[in-house]
Amino acid sequence: MAALTHTGIAPANYSFFAKFKSAVGRYVEAVIAARGRSEEIARFQSMSDRQLADIGVERQDIVKIVFRDKLHL
């Protein structure tokens, strides 16, 4: 009669794949966020200085405004 024992291999593999899946998910989210930020920067840059002034933005502050959550501003 054969005896089955738990070697711990399956949970380690599961942990690896769970971590891998999580890393891929974070990467995809970062790519989506970066694309959105790039589009927002392009939108601001396409505005005239007058339009930016009307909304209280100076051209040199565009990147700071778009990344304010990452820069903790």
> So where are the chain's domains?
20-71
38: nearest Cα among 26, 30, 50, 49? 30
pLDDT grade, residue 10 (50/70/90)? low
Residue 13 has pLDDT above 60, yes or no: no
* pLDDT tens track for 16-47: 888 888 999 998 998 888 888 999 999 999 99
59: nearest Cα among 69, 67, 48? 48
In the chain, the percentage of residues whose pLDDT exceeds 70 is: 79
Residue 6 has pLDDT above 60, yes or no: no
Return the pLDDT at 33.
86
